[in-house]
Amino acid sequence: MYLRISYSAASVFLVSLAFLAFHFCIPSSAHAATYLVRADGTGDFPTIQSAIDAAVNGDRVLLADGVFSGPGNRDLTYGLKAITIESEGGVPADCVIDCADPLAPHRGFLFDGEGPGSILRKIEIRNGRADFGGGIYSTNASPTITRCTLVSCSAVAQGGGIYVDGGSPAFSYCYALYCDAEEGGGAFVTGSPGEVYFVGGFADNQADFGAGLCVDDGGSAHLFNAAFVRNEATTYGGAVAVRNNSTFRSELTSFEDSEAATGGAVYTDHSSITLTDSWILRNHASHGAGIWCQNGSSPTLNRCVVAFNYAPGYGGGVHCWNSSPDIRSSTFYDNAAGEHGNGVSIEQCGLSLSRSIIAFGAEGEAVYCYEPDVISIECCDIYGNQGGDWTSYIAPFQDTEGNLRLDPRFCDGPGGDWTLEATSPCLPHSAPNPECDLIGAFGVGCPVSSTDEPLLTEFGESWLRVQPSPFRDGTWIRLNAAPTEVVRVSVFDAAGRLVRDLRREPVRDGTLEIEWDGRDQAGSPVGPGVYFVRAEAEDRSASRPVVLVR
């Protein structure tokens, strides 16, 4: 996953977490009880459901580490109670609800009318099966679900991992992995008068429609600090599908390595989508490898990166039919379309393109228009595209309204660093377009160096790599820097707190490799979530996000 943030991500996360804490927590009774349940049937109650049945508002049901299975440990219901169910050890992979049954389908939890005081924390739900919501089914409910993982859950119809119909549940640092359904392999959201909130990730899910997430029939979903990785749909929306008067918005979210027949990352029809500070990378589809939009679904992209996507047909980055995209302060890099529009392709609709870069497209012209409506292009740099830059309907916009055809001078475009050199013409109020502010998603990221020594530059992907991500047991941090340069490598959580100081020493032979095992400074396993690896050398630094699942 690539992360490019020109402001403090920590402050955003703190605001988000404070909101969750204030809005969703209900104080417990002064006489709240805690009941311990063990997988072997010992403890205060023999099963999880029997403990729930005995609990009253404010109580806590604590699950010892182990694998819970069989009657009473699946198909669990809260019964409208404001209670907390959580693992004792705090690591979801160590506290598993296994719903497997060769004779009948079962899911993990069913919520029906509960409020935010019904809390589920730090549990893994595995092998759930149902018609709707193989792992979790929520109807007209707003539970608070935190640090839970759904693994290998499936649904015949909708929501392999999660199904939401009405209400405003909050899923914080939750992950749907290897789940499948006809629609919404990871999660399905429909009919929500409120907004379903997701922080977390969707990886390796499958569906016919919306493999990671499907939002349908008036549903509304808000994703913050989320990741979609390697999801695959046979028809529409490899990562996300949004249709039928639904709403989808994402912030600090990546859509990577996903595939569909149409809309490799995102597909939208008769709906509204807004992507802010998000990344659409290495997706594939016949048309609209990054985004496909149609029938009035006019997407808004703000400070986004769309790169390395490929469509053998139309729209390597974005393809819209009868839907007018609004693209602002974004960077399109090395997308390809076998027929037309490596960056943007539109049919029978308008286009608003401002303060954006479309550069170095491998196949197809930068922008393709078929029977276009109103087109507005200002303060944009379109350059180096193999099929042409300012062509056809957009040719009259070249060298007017602050538009350019100049090398944007990325710090390391092929390596995924789309910040700009200090001499870039896309910097704010630079010649030859002093009337324009910053063009593209990112500002200066690398100095002009008079030496041939490699530099560790801010956001430089070629200098700092963290793989794999997501990971369970360990991930490798690989760093290139000047020999003998002293480098400090640390891990921080989403709130900006130091988790682990991994190393502070000179780099030898220009390379450094370090493994992070998902533990903190004291050697204790940390919880699942998004962390940041930071490398610092003198006055230069680089950061990378990494997703830990348990």
Dihedral sign for Cα atoms in the order 517, 521, 525, 530: negative
Compute the average pLDDT of residues 333-338.
97
Q: pLDDT at position 538, please?
A: 64
Q: How does residue 457 score in pLDDT terms, banded at 50, 70 and 90? A: very low
What is the tens place of the pLDDT at every residue in 251-291?
A: 999 999 999 999 999 999 999 999 999 999 999 999 999 99
**Where is pLDDT greater, at 451 or 446?**
446
pLDDT at 505: 59
For residue range 495-528, list pLDDT tens digits in order: 567 889 887 656 566 667 788 999 888 888 887 7
Query: Dihedral sign, CA of 13, 195, 549, 93?
Result: positive
Burial class (CB in 10 A: 0-12, 13-18, 19+), 261: middle
Question: What average pLDDT does the chain have?
Answer: 88
Whole-angstrom Cα Rg for the chain: 24
Q: How far is CA 496 from CA 19, 195, 231, 491, 530, in A?
A: 17, 27, 29, 9, 11
Position 284, amino acid: H
pLDDT digits (tens, 9 = 90+) for 531-542: 778 887 765 667
HSE at residue 155, side-chain half, CA atoms within 13 A, is 31
Is the model's pLDDT at 163 over the cut of 60?
Answer: yes
pLDDT surpasses 80 at 436: yes
Burial 394-426 (b: 16+ CB within 10 A, else e): beebbeeebbbeebbbbbbbeebbbbbbeebbb
pLDDT for residue 351: 95
Architecture of domain 464-548: Sandwich (2.60)
Supply the pLDDT for residue 30.
Answer: 55
Instruction: Concatenate the DSSP letters of all residues of 494-505 into one string.
Output: TTS-EEEEEEEE
Average pLDDT, stretch 436-445?
A: 92
Residue 213 has pLDDT above 80, yes or no: yes
Q: Is the pTM of this model over 0.85?
A: no
The string over 49-75, giving b where at least 16 C-beta atoms fall within 10 Å of a residue's C-beta and e elsewhere, is bbbbeebeebbbbbbbebebbeebbbb
Residues 6+ away with beta carbon under 8 Å from 239: 202, 211, 212, 213, 228, 231, 255, 258, 264, 265, 266, 283
Tokens of 412: 């390391």
% of the chain with per-residue pLDDT over 90: 71
Would you say residue 25 has pLDDT above 80?
no
Judged against a pLDDT cut of 70, whether residue 482 lies above it is answered with: no
Domain boundaries, the chain: 464-548
